[in-house]
Amino acid sequence: MSGYMSKSEKKMTPDFSEMGIHVESPGSIFSDYVPYEKKAPFFMPLGAKQRWEAFRAFLSSTYSFVKIRKRIDFETSTFAREVQKQFIDTNKALQLENSKVADRILEEKMVLVLGHRLKTRFRDPAKKVYWRFGAELSRPRIVHARVGAMGEKKEASWAQITVRLHTQQMIALTDRYDRLISGSKKTPKEMLDFIVMERNLGDPYSQWRICGKLEPRGLARDSLARKIQNKLPARGDKKTCPG
């Protein structure tokens, strides 16, 4: 945003660190990179472009992991599995109505504005989203990492890590009378999610929290997925994270 500001506007921008204000989230996803599920042959222009993009993402992730490990304890071997558990826990919590326990889980495991918006949509009495975890189809894995800074002095450093989850989930949309609109409560559906996790590296008490998701590349999007993709907002949704 600062690149579009004039010099006078930059001078008017408050320094949150001097004001003692805690910034809960950067308010955006630093990188929209996700790997292609199917790559074109390397001798084709598209294939060469895909591999070059993957190589650049690898270099960026390697650099980011070095910076992350300098600030916090971080284990790549267990991180993706923990993210999958966090993803399941948050979706289970969204199924509970007026539960203080569920609200606390959401506050701990995802950014506040995102959690509030999802609670509003999942608990809409007119159209209810039914969700259950089915099974893990492939091992969850980290696909990208990026570190960014906030503030005029770049004093606040944030890390964001994208994790690929390939699972079976039971998803359905019902009306206020529990009549099925779409999906199924019994038949599991194969789903591919790219969950973006976020943490403030400058705060020793911070935790990894969900800040959004990215859409997979090269896969047809199901009509039901279009209706209930608010399960985790995508990168293009400006309102998913606080600014």
Q: Which domains does the chain have, with CATH numbers?
A: 74-231 (3.10.450.240)
196 compared with 8, residue with greater pLDDT: 196
State residue 7's pLDDT score: 44
State residue 126's pLDDT score: 82
State residue 21's pLDDT score: 42
State residue 230's pLDDT score: 42
CA distance 51 to 49: 6
At 69, is the secondary structure helix, strand, or coil? helix
Q: What is the DSSP letter of 16?
A: H
User: For a pLDDT cut of 70, what percent of the chain falls above it?
Assistant: 76
CA distance 16 to 71: 21
Residue 127 has pLDDT above 80, yes or no: yes
State residue 151's pLDDT score: 61
pLDDT bracket for residue 96 (50, 70, 90): confident
The H-assigned helical ranges of the chain are: 7-12, 16-19, 45-71, 76-95, 100-109, 112-122, 223-228
Q: In whole angstroms, what separates CA 165 from the centre of its chain?
A: 11
Please report the DSSP string for 206-222 in residue order: ---EEEEEEPPBS-PPP
CA distance 145 to 202: 17
Check: CB of residue 149 under 8 Å from CB of residue 163: no
149 compared with 197, residue with greater pLDDT: 197
Q: In whole angstroms, what separates CA 219 from the centre of its chain?
A: 19
The H-assigned helical ranges of 100-209 are: 100-109, 112-122
Least confident of 17-21, 50-54, 65-69, 152-156: 17-21
Residue 136 has pLDDT above 60, yes or no: yes
pLDDT bracket for residue 2 (50, 70, 90): very low
Query: Identity (one letter) of the amino acid at 80?
Result: A
State residue 20's pLDDT score: 42
For residue range 154-211, what is the model confidence (pLDDT) as tens digits?
556 899 999 999 999 999 988 888 888 888 888 999 999 999 999 998 888 888 999 8
239 compared with 211, residue with greater pLDDT: 211
Residue 60 has pLDDT above 80, yes or no: yes
CA distance 243 to 239: 8
What tokens does 35 get?
């790997």
For residue range 16-38, what is the model confidence (pLDDT) as tens digits?
344 344 456 777 888 899 988 88
CA distance 97 to 219: 33
Residue 243 has pLDDT above 80, yes or no: no
Q: What is the DSSP letter of 38?
A: S
At 146, is the secondary structure helix, strand, or coil? strand
Helix axes 76-95, 100-109, angle to 10 degrees: 150
State residue 226's pLDDT score: 44
Q: What residue has token string 């993210």?
A: 83
Which of 160, 150, 223, 227 shows the shortest CA–CA distance to 194?
160
